[in-house]
Amino acid sequence: MRMRLAMVLSIAILISSYATRALAHGEAADEPFLKDLTVAYYDVHVTPTQVKVGDPVTITGSVKILETWPYTLDPPQTAYITPVVPGPCFALTERLINGESSPGSIFVDKGGIYQFKMVMLARNPGHWHVHPGIAIQGTGTLLGPGEWVTVDPSGQPFKLDVTLLNGKTVDLEHFGGAFVWWWSLAGFIIGLIWMLYWTVPKRTVTRLAVTMQLPVNDDAPDIGLITPRDHMWMDLLAGITVLMLIVGWVYMAAKYPVRLPQQTVRFAPDPISPGDGLIAVHPKGSTFDEKTDTLVINFQVKNNGASPVSLKQYIMAMTTFVDGDKQEMAAAGPSEYVGQLAVDPDGPIAPGASRDITLKMTNEVFLQERLIPLHDPQQLIAGLLRFQDAQGKENLVTLKSVLVPTEFQPQYLP
């Protein structure tokens, strides 16, 4: 027995000493289809990454709800764009979506592009992973790329001053805090007395087999289950509860005579164009090699526009792959989620021309973030092809293709 205990203990110590610092908050947990086929994030920036308590941090970027939204999920209708951080370590003070102030949820559609700007104040000191996220009703929160933000103490407690409609300024960090705490405790104590009364001296719970035999409205006076004295005490507790409600209503009406119901502001943001739609793509299959972390995507493209276009980026879920130099890669988003893109053949596609293109990306992020379906009933990936012409005019084209892991290739490829 002692041997076994010692063994269990030593294994427990071994495991706990091996645990590394949790570096993220579970963004890899979602299935690949839930990341790739739903939304794509691009141009995400979190600045600055080193602040003091009370300083602002701004998250900007764009998210597109893809046309490839899985039919197994509810269609996207109501959504909420939000910073995703570990707990209340920041306080959101402003959110713009497509240029419009958006205090709450918005109405969204498949194919919609949502450019966001969120300003939040650093609240708790620490080293935090900050993501943008879009919470879609019926589906859950889909995460964008994350960036580490370090918040240092500022020597002063956090304050969140807001100006009310009557011109008065209150600090939301502490406003009404003490009253809410004590009032909730008073309600809790009434409940606690009720619970202890019926469980400790009364045996109503410990002798469940007996009490279960009685009809619902039977006080069972012959076995002394519920006595007139019990009725008296319970009436008293109910009376105190009603009294608390009345006191609460009167106090609120007297102390806050000017009130406004909580406001709901919901609207569909102004549409943003993905481009002129004159570039047509047709998928020709993709492969993923687990041993080398390499994703290869084949497709055919036809430029129906009037000017030559070049492929600049491939955007999938929270990652962006860039056909460009270091500077262009830094501009594409947080470095952990940005990789190099090889386009073969590279170079502008002339107006009216068709071309077969192969994209190649080698990056650890595919497996780290679980972006590639390796053993799923539907082996599909989707992402955005970002084309640009000489004038800088952009076209975002969604490409969905079937993915075959290379270890299976010989059996399944024709």
Binding site for Cu ion (CB under 5 A): 24-25, 129, 146
Nearer to Cu ion, 22 or 209 (CB): 22
Nearer to Cu ion, 46 or 279 (CB): 46
Cβ proximity of 108 and 78 under 8 Å? yes
Cβ 132 to Cu ion, closest distance in Å? Answer: 11
Burial category of 165 from C-beta neighbours within 10 Å (exposed 0-12, middle 13-18, buried 19 and up): exposed
**Strands (DSSP E) found in 48-183:** 50-52, 56-65, 78-84, 90-97, 100-101, 106-107, 113-122, 126-136, 140-143, 147-152, 161-163, 169-171
Eight-state DSSP code of residue 349: B
Q: What distances in angstroms separate CA 70 from CA 76, 125, 141, 314, 398, one per listed residue?
A: 10, 40, 15, 20, 14
Nearer to Cu ion, 305 or 333 (CB): 333
Task: Name the phi and psi angles at 285, rounded to 5.
Answer: 90, 155
Cβ 113 to Cu ion, closest distance in Å? Answer: 24
Nearer to Cu ion, 26 or 392 (CB): 26
Nearer to Cu ion, 47 or 307 (CB): 47
Q: Compute the Cα dihedral for 405, 371, 109, 389 and give only its sign.
A: negative
Nearer to Cu ion, 84 or 349 (CB): 84
> CA-based angle 10:14:17, to the nearest 5?
135
Nearer to Cu ion, 66 or 85 (CB): 85
Q: Strand pairing partners for 357?
A: 299
Q: Strand pairing partners for 386?
A: 313, 396
Cβ 114 to Cu ion, closest distance in Å? Answer: 20
Cβ proximity of 381 and 405 under 8 Å? no
Cβ 59 to Cu ion, closest distance in Å? Answer: 13
Cβ 148 to Cu ion, closest distance in Å? Answer: 9
Q: Which two structure tokens, joined as six digits, stand for 5?
A: 């205990």
Q: Which two structure tokens, joined as six digits, stand for 337?
A: 């989620």
In the complex, residue closest to Cu ion by CB: 129
Nearer to Cu ion, 28 or 210 (CB): 28
Cβ 86 to Cu ion, closest distance in Å? Answer: 8
Cβ 27 to Cu ion, closest distance in Å? Answer: 5
Cβ 128 to Cu ion, closest distance in Å? Answer: 9
Greatest Cα pair distance, the chain, in angstroms, is 96
